[in-house]
Each structure stands twice: as C-alpha cells, then as structure tokens.
Chain A
Amino acid sequence: MALAHAPAPASAPASQQDHPRLALVARIGAAVLGGYGFAWGLVAAATSLLVAAGMGFHDAEFLASLVGVLAMLCAFLWAIAARRLWRVWAVLAGGGALLAGVGSLVQAVLG
C-alpha cells in the first residue's frame, strides 16, 4: 500500500515531487477548504432554488443541508483521490463560487 515511488508518473508535474510536504498540505487544503466552499455554494443554490419552487424556507434549509453534507463527503474523497490537484481546486473553488452566486441571484430575484 505504498505511495507511488519515484520515478514520478509522467502525468504529475515536477513541482509536486520536488516539494512533497507542500503537495500534501495543498491536497488536504483542497479537500477541507475546497470541499467546504463547494458544499456552502451547493447549500446556497439548493436552498434558494427550493424556496423558488415553493418549498417552505426551513424545509428547504434542511434538505439543502443534507445535500451539502453528502456533497462535502464526496468532494473530500474526490479531492484526496484525484490525479491532478489543479482540477480539484478549479471544480471545488470555482464550482462553489458559481453555485453561491446562483443562490444570491435567486434570492435577489425572489425579493
């Protein structure tokens, strides 16, 4: 169950192998912070869209938080397992921001 030894697989950028500690921290950061940010965005979008669809606010809030917790779990696992770290950051941070934006937009539209 060892990590892949050097020589590094062709796909990994040279910088990751040069600074394994940094790569590890970046990976954990992506999983924890990126995962949380993505989950937050998903909860925002889901809550506001459910309210827009006619659900009561507290119901929407609960359902969205359920989705958020499960999404964070998936994001966390994916972030650890994914080959390319930059892709993880792009999807989690970028996707999270986009979803959060959707949430605020729908809130403004409903107001």
Chain B
Amino acid sequence: MFTTFRQAMAWLHTWFGLVLGFVLMAAFFFGALSVFDREFDRWAIPATRIEPQPMPSYERVLRPAFERMQPTRAAVDAMRGQVDGPMPARFDTVAYWSAYTTHRDPVVALFAGYEVPNARHAGEQIYAEATVDPRDGRVLPDDRLKVGSGFFYPMHYGLTLDWKNLGIWIVGFSALVMLAALVSGVVMHRRLFREFFTFRPGKARLRSALDLHNLTGVVALPFHFFFALTGLLIFAATYYFPLGHTQLHELHDRAAAIEAQQTGLPHQRAGVAAGLADVDAMVAQARQRWEDKGKAGDVGFLVLMHVGDANGYVSVYRAGTDRIALVGDGIHFKASSGELIREDPPATAVARMAEFLTGLHLQHFRHWLLRWLYVLGGLAGAVCIATGFVFFVEKRKRQHAARGSQGARVVDALAVASVTGMALATLGILVANRLLPEDLAARGDWEQRAFWTTWVLALLHAAWRSAPVALGLPNPAWREQAWAISALAIAAAVLNWATTGDHLLRTLASGYWPVAGVDLALLAVSAIAGLVAHRLRLRSRVRAAQAHAAEPRHA
C-alpha cells in the first residue's frame, strides 16, 4: 500500500490518530480530572466535606454499619429471576464484609456480599454497598452521584458505556492506537532532538500548531507511552485477553484450588456457626507486624470472609500510600479465635512488577507534587491531540474549500465538540450538581443528563457555526465556546459559595484543600479560557481588517 515505512507510519498516524483522537481526548481529559476524583466528590457532595480519617475501629464504627447493610430493592428485584422460590426478607448469610479507605477519603466505603438461598447457579451472590462517616458510623446518603470517582473516572476508562463493556473495548482500542501514534509520530519526526524545545507561536497557524503538537507529544513521551500501556495492562487479563475464563480456564481453576490449599484460607463456608473474636485486636497485631518488618503503615482494606462461620477469616491489608504498589502485605487471622493463619509472603518478582505498573497508573500513593505533575502530563496529552486536530484541519481546509468538500468542516466541528465541548459538558455537570434541588429523586441521573445535554448542545453549536471552514476560514465556535467555558467556570465556583457557604476565603483559611482546590482550578480555567477567547477575537479582527483591505473596490 505504501512505498516506504515512513509513509505508512504517516498515514497511520494521521487517520487512526484522527478517528480515535476523539476517544483519546476523553480518556486524557477525564483521566487528568480523575487524579483528583475524590476531591471532586467532596465538592459535589457537601455532606462529605470532612477531613480524611484512618480506618476506624471495627467494634465501634464498622460492625454496627455492616449489620445494618442490606442489598437495595433494585438489586433484590434484579436477582429474583435467578432464584427458584421466594426471596428472603433479609440476607443473613454473609459471604464477605469489607471496608476500604485511602488517605484522600474522608468517608469509608463498605461492601458486602451475601449468599442467595435457592439460587439457580451455585455460589450466586447479591451485593450491597454503603458509605459511612468514620467518626461515628453514620451512614451517608448513598444516592448522591460521586461526580469524581463515580462519573469522571468511569468516563475515563469506559466512556460510561456499560453495555457489554463496549466502552472499555473502545477506550482499549484507542489506547493501542495511542501507542501506535506515539511510535509512528517518532518515526515521522525527523528532527526530534533538534526541535525538542521548539515552539514558534508567531508563525503561521499550520506551523505553530505542528510545533505545539510535537512539543507536547515529545516532552511527555514516556508519560504518554506508559499511561497508555499500563492502562491497557490493568484491563488486559480481565477484559481484553480473558483466557483464564475461556481457553485456559482449566489451568486457572487448577491454580485456584492449589492456592486455596497452600494459603490455608478456606474457599467455602464450613456450615458450622462460630463467633467472631476481637477484630480491632487483630488489626492492631497486623499493624505491629508491619512495623516490625520496617513497613509501618495504615490499614487500607479490611475484609471479613464467611462471616459467622467456622471457616471465617479476617484479612488486613496495608494502604500503599508511600510507594507505587497498591494495598498489599495482607495478614490473615482465623475469625473465631483471632489466631494468625498467614502473613502474605513477599511478592514474586513478576507480582512486584505488576503492582508497580498498575500502581503507577492508579495512583494510590500520597504525593501531591507527583499528582499535579500527572495532571500536567494528562493535559499535555489533551493539548497534543487537540493540536493534532487543528493541524489536520488547517492543512486541508483551503484545498477542501477550493473543491467544495465538507471534510475539513466536519472534522473541525467534531474537534470543537471534543475539546471545548467536553470542557463545557464537565462544567455543565458541576453547575447542575449545585443547582438541582437537594432532595430530587434520582438526582445523579439528572446530573448525568445535564452533562450529555451540554455536550450535544456544544456539538450542535459547533456544527452550526462551522460553515466558514468550508470556505477555508476559521470556525468562530472555538472562540464562542471559550467564552462559554469562562462564564460557566465562574458560575460553578460562585454556585458552590451560594449553595454551601464554602467560599474560597473560608476554605483557604481552614485549609480544606479539596474544595478550595476545585474552586481555584475553576477560576484558573475561567481566566485561561477568557484569555484564549480574547486572543482569538483579536486575531479574527485582524483577519477581517486584512480581508477588507484586500477586497477590490466595488463600483
């Protein structure tokens, strides 16, 4: 198809980069926001604006909360079809209770799985979740949409397209194309080292767009490559290459059985009732053991398996706040007696590599500079893709205008929608979050509708205003949407003040950074968008003056 390797790579980079670039914009932008997902949650759910706490006491806080948990009515109804017989009023055979917290979570997330009696499939489980205030065990309203961790984050890895995991596949393919675009980009970029620091904003749009595209791509090349790669790895064994449950399921099942034997952690209930020893004492013992190994730390994850059964055991995992690896160093105790069953041995070399690669992406570590540098990298990636779109359109719009093609116009409209449109949609959900009535039923659904509606409106606006592109001229939608971003960002910050009383002076004074940070970011976005809009308007005025001067005089 192509005469040289470089030509082939250029074609690949251009066309696959263009088509998948729209998906990648979302992955990079919402990925950058997801670095501070829990901070967005605090902003969006004012009831949770409290300081992060370490994992609270089991006896005082967690047990009462666990005992009160039950699956939601919706979950029970969904399970009805899988059961031969009546559904119980209460699910009391607890497969597991678990509690999870991080150094950024002021609330504790509780999860429970219950055995379903008379289920058609053996081992069928039904689940429940709750969010509690760690200071007193008070259950917090769970029906609030966690705009950060419950929306921006799933948006980033799956576009919230859950049907048959289609979104995860689309983002996965776009990540592969990202890797291909990076390799092909390097192959195409002949003067990589000489132009490492080159950005010439004064030059023609085509050249300066390419300069910026190359700069943001090359300067953060390791970041872009590793994030695409580690992102793929996180889902690879489960979604993209699920051999363990398909072609190689025999190998998998055999390994699971052996593991159960070796670890001494029972897979199933014994069917014999038994009590529960002092869990807080077990946790204290675990923390002591970590400290003895030179790894003092906080509890990140607490699991109680087969609750109320003789085979029950309690697992305590260490939060990985000071290193890349996630929760680990699990220590397991027999539930009925509190005696130690097992201390997880040091991980194998491969397991350590896996923990490192996935932990690098998932960022559970406590390091504010590194988090902000990650945001910078994500935004650099977004700028790289956006300038790619601009370059594509600039390069072709005059030729397309000359032959009456709409191609450049279509791409430009889509580019506006995926750059400024996406930012507008994000601001739209934040504004809706503050404006909607507190007690509105299915409030989270309405917030999401606000997001998608704003995006569709941005797309329609971009399409409507893009007619000049078909004549070889710039699309005014860029400037107009930049103004809209500037306005909406301020509105969101002001609405936070108006609806919660937590204005910037107060949050800065009390040092409550999650909310102060989001408000400051909103103000910064507003300022930058306003500046960009202003510059674009000046440029269009200059161009209009030039066009006017060049017009032949009419009779």
Contacts and interface: CB of A to CB of B under 8 A. Distances in A.
Task: Check A-B contact in the complex, CB < 8 A.
Answer: yes
Given A69-B233, A73-B180, A107-B248, A55 B350 contact: yes
Contacts of B10: 1
Contacts of A100: 247
A65 B241 contact: yes
B251 A1 contact: no
Nearest to A100: B247
B351 A111 contact: no
A77 B180 contact: yes
A62 B350 contact: yes
A68 B236 contact: yes
Nearest to B10: A1
A63 B350 CA distance: 7
Contacts of B527: none
Contact of A57 (B5, B183, B233, B255): B255
Contacts, number: 118
A72 interface: yes
Contacts of B11: 1, 3, 80
A4 B243 contact: no
A62 B243 CA distance: 11
Which 3 pairs across A and B sit closest by C-beta, in order of nearness?
A57-B255, A65-B236, A81-B8
Nearest to A9: B3
Interface string A52-80: 00011111111111101110110011001
Per DSSP, are chain A's interface residues mostly helix, strand or loop, or mixed? helix
Interface in B215-261: 229, 232-233, 236-237, 240-241, 243-244, 247-248, 250-252, 254-256, 259
A43 interface: yes
A9 to B, nearest CB: 7
B12 A80 contact: yes
A57 B244 CA distance: 9
Given A56-B255, A111-B254, A103 B247 contact: yes
A107 B232 contact: no
A51 B183 CA distance: 32
24 contacts: A1-B7, A12-B1, A24-B1, A32-B173, A47-B251, A48-B251, A51-B255, A56-B255, A57-B252, A57-B255, A61-B243, A62-B237, A63-B350, A65-B233, A68-B236, A69-B233, A73-B179, A76-B180, A77-B180, A80-B8, A81-B5, A81-B9, A107-B248, A107-B251
